Structure 1
Amino acid sequence: MRKEETVSSGQMACLFLSFMLGSSLINMPQPLADAAGNGAWLSVIIGNGYGIFLLACVYYLYRKNPDLTFIDYSRKMLGKWVTLCISIPIILLLLLMLSNIVVDIGGFLTNAMMRETPPYVFHSLILLVSAMTARSGIEVMTRMFVMLLIYMVLFSVTVLILSIPFYQVGNLLPVFPDGMKPVIHGSYLVLGFPYSELVLFSLILPFVRKEKNNSLKKYMFLVLLIQGFMFVISVVCSIMALGPLASTFKFSVFQLARLINIREIITRIESFIGIALIVGSYMKASITLFILKETLSRVFKLHDERIIIFPVSFVALLLSLTMYKSEIEHAEIVLVVWPLFITIVAVLPLIFITLITLLKGKKIKSKDT
């Protein structure tokens, strides 16, 4: 792996939190409440447990070969041609993921804030800024994202706190009005977005510099628990405040911000949440584009991987403008098809290679004894 850039364990954890929170904190409560009802928060807990398992697999492979990305490690274990068969679907996955992020944020801006502005304006601006950020390198990204992450978390938490007068605990009951089936359905949604997506970090973990007290494992798992806690809180607060309407109003936290009116002094603060959603989506788009750039450069062995950022961004722009005919079609793909697609393309190959590595390690140990 090239060593031009490295980041600390704490910086990588910050990048990981930016990626995992991204737009999920504001986007997911509504579809989760629609699928799982009052048990939506249990779906998040199940999804977080699944995420811990996947992160354990990612970290295990990283610990075995700290200098190799998932693509490099696959080439070492399975050979060039099998790795190519694995890599091409992952590249397609990343490209579609980038396009979906842009479609999502463009739809939010068009529907909630600037209805007269055509979507291609937002899509172009988001991809341009994300491309420039990804081109600047992982060190610049991590330094900048610390402040943006603080902003996003601070305003999201502030809105949830100021919405306390609207909370009714009774809206959380009954937890299982239709049994466990809706909760399992909700778990299926969060397995695809955001928890299965964390396996993509196996493609950039080697950027972490080697430290005497390697605390990457502690930081990464702590970040996942923090993300799960914030996710659960946002879902619970949305259900308590909006009741049955939590499954109807898209961008539930944004809708909560609209309710806040404290003596006509603190009012109309939904714009801050809107900015937080834009910031979260921008950070996730930049990280996704950076991972896509690194994957392409390793699969095709490019000498200067930065030259492909703008062409790839242009392809993502075209996809974001032509993939979907309506928001309903976009929602169906993201919530129904995406969890299955990312599981087949990214999760299963990672688990397969982890099992091979584990079995080989046990075989070597048995020979030594």
Structure 2
Amino acid sequence: MQKLNTVSSWQMTALFTAYITGSAIVWIPAPLTGAAKNAAWVSLWLASGIGMLVLACVLYLHRKYPELTFVEYSELTFGRMVTAIIAVPYLIMLLLMLSNIVIGISQFFNSTMMRETPSYVFHLLTLLTAAMTVRAGIEVMSRMFILLLAAVFFFSFSVLLLCLPSYRPELLLPVFQHGFKQTLFGAYQTWGFPYAEIILFSTLLPFVRRDQRQHLGKFMFIALLFNGISLSLVILCTIMALGPMAATVKFSLFELARLVDVADIIQRIESVISIGLIAASYMKATIVLFMLNEAISRLLRLQDENILIFPTTFLSFLLTMTMYQNELEFNERVTAEWPLIITLFGVVPNLMVILVTAFKDRRGKIRKA
């Protein structure tokens, strides 16, 4: 890591916001409403509450190892051999995550605006753009993403406001019409994406400038709270506007944008919101590619961290073309299997490091006493 390639706590918070809200604001509302119905917002806050605990774990490890990433403090804790065993599924998981995000972008295009364009066109363009952004460095990423985030939230909240005449609050009731079991299933889905993924963000925290780290935790918790509020608003507004149909649409914000009709002047703005949604997913794909490249570089102890960006991008491109036979298979694996994968290969290894670190600290204090 080059010393000049660092960011402030505000810039890191912007990256964190793009990471947890990016593709989530596109994909989460519709399947979550389909799983938990009117209680989707309850499921979201249950998962978000656990996400707060995950963020606390990430910040704890960052305080203990401020200059190290997951791969490096795993080597310090378990040794190089054990770390290599843990890191292989960890890297595969990041690669799958990147490929899933890119596939999601192509599905959005093919389902809404460009139905006849082959999906590999979107895969290739998205991955190439992400790769060139990663090569530019984390400081360039953070500055650009602040502007993109502002555009994404402006477009999103504008759509929610313009749809006010379509809202019917009575459609929010009853909340638990299908029992609490469905609410827990919705929380399980949302836990895997995006809140369990917070644990992977520890790879980026060493890039925060030393004199900026004292406020990082507070800013990140505020960003996570803002994420929960934003996703909740989208879910609630979708239910109030579409009622039972909210569980059947694929892209909630896009469908809400199609309802906008203000004085026969502001109409057909779904193409505008589409740009924001695509930018949101692109930001997350770029961050995941950066984390994957960083983890591989630290594991292999490479001097040039940019050398594997394009080979990794090409590998991800091949996966996007071969991983799933159809859209149904993609949706089933992401909603049912991904929470388990991220928990086993992402959360559990970090919890093991936390337990060992806490045990060593406690034993050290006992010896001093």
**Do residues 246 (structure 1) and 251 (structure 2) align?**
no
What's 1:350 paired with? 350
What is the deviation of 1:212?
6.2
Counterpart code for 1:184: L
> Within 5 Å, which residues of 2 pair with 1:59-138?
59-138=59-138
Structure 2 residue identity aligned to 1:285: A
Q: Which stretch of structure 1 is more off in the superposition, 210-219 or 84-93?
A: 210-219
**Structure 2 letter corresponding to 1:255:** E
Equivalent in the alignment of 2:298: 298
Q: Structure 1 residues 160 and 126, CA, compared in 2 at 3 Å: closer, same or farther?
A: same
- 3-state secondary structure, aligned to 2:102: helix
Deviation at residue 178 of structure 1 after TM alignment: 2.0
Q: Specify the code of the residue in structure 1 equivalent to 2:172.
A: L
Q: TM-score normalised to the size of structure 1?
A: 0.98
- Aligned to 1:307, what secondary structure does the other structure show? coil
Are 1:182 and 2:182 matched, yes or no?
Answer: yes
Query: Deviation at 1:113?
Result: 0.5
Is 2:61–2:354's contact at 8 Å kept on the other side of the alignment?
A: yes
Q: Per the alignment, do residues 74 and 243 of structure 1 end up closer, same or farther by CA in structure 2, a change over 3 Å counting? A: same
Q: Distance in 2 between matches of 1:306 and 1:183?
A: 43
Q: Deviations over 1:72-117 (max 9, x none)?
A: 1010011001111111111101111111001000011011001111
Residue ranges of structure 2 left out of the alignment (5+ in a row): none
* Cα deviation code 1:272-322 (max 9, x no counterpart): 111111100110011000001100001111111211111111111111011
Shift of 1:207: 0.4
C-alpha separation between the residues in 2 aligned to 1:137 and 1:94?
19
Within-5 A mapping of 1:1-369? 2-211=2-211, 214-369=214-369
Structure-2 change in CA distance of 1:212 and 1:141 (3 Å): closer
Contact 2:106–2:123 (Cα < 8 Å) also in 1 = yes
Quote how far apart the aligned CAs of 1:65 are: 1.4
Post-superposition Cα deviations, 1:142-174, rounded to whole Å, max 9, x if no partner, equal: 011110000001100000111111111111111
Aligned residue pairs, count: 369
What's the RMSD between the two structures over aligned residues? Answer: 1.0
Question: Contact 2:9 / 2:212 at 8 angstroms: preserved in 1?
Answer: no
TM-score computed with the length of structure 2 as normaliser = 0.98
SS in 2 for 1:215: helix
Cα distance in 2, alignment partners of residues 169 and 212 from structure 1: 44
CA distance in 1, matches of 2:95, 2:149: 24
Deviations along 1:35-88, one digit per CA (max 9) or x if unpaired, are 101100001101111110000000001001111111110100110011111111
Which stretches of structure 1, 4 residues or longer, exceed 6 Å deviation after superposition? Answer: none
Cα distance in 2 for partners of 1:47, 1:64 equals 26
Distance 1:271 1:125 in 2: 19
Residues 4 and 84 of structure 1, relative CA distance in 2, 3 Å threshold: farther
- Rounded to whole Å, the distance in 1 between the matches of 2:147 and 2:25 is 18
8 Å Cα contact 2:22-2:280 kept in structure 1: yes
Q: Give the drift of 1:324.
A: 0.9
- C-alpha contact 2:9 2:213 (8 A) present in aligned 1: no
Amino acid at match of 1:111: S
SS at match of 1:324: coil
Following the alignment from structure 2 to structure 1, what is the Cα–Cα distance between the partners of residues 213 and 135? 30
Secondary structure of the corresponding residue to residue 211 of structure 2: coil
CA–CA separation in structure 1 for the residues paired with 2:168 and 2:191 = 28
The 1:212/1:26 distance shift into structure 2, 3 A limit, reads closer
**Structure 1 CA distance, aligned partners of 2:125 and 2:63?**
38
In the alignment, the residues of structure 2 paired with residue 129 and residue 309 of structure 1 have an alpha-carbon distance, to the nearest angstrom, of 12
Aligned residue for 2:115, secondary structure, equals coil
Q: Aligned to 2:324, what secondary structure does the other structure show?
A: coil
Question: Quick one: structure 1 residues 4 and 81, their matched pair in 2 at CA, closer, same or farther if it must change by over 3 Å?
Answer: farther
The answer as to whether partners of 2:188 and 2:339 remain within 8 angstroms in 1 is yes
State how far apart, in whole Å, the 1-side matches of 2:166 and 2:361 are: 55
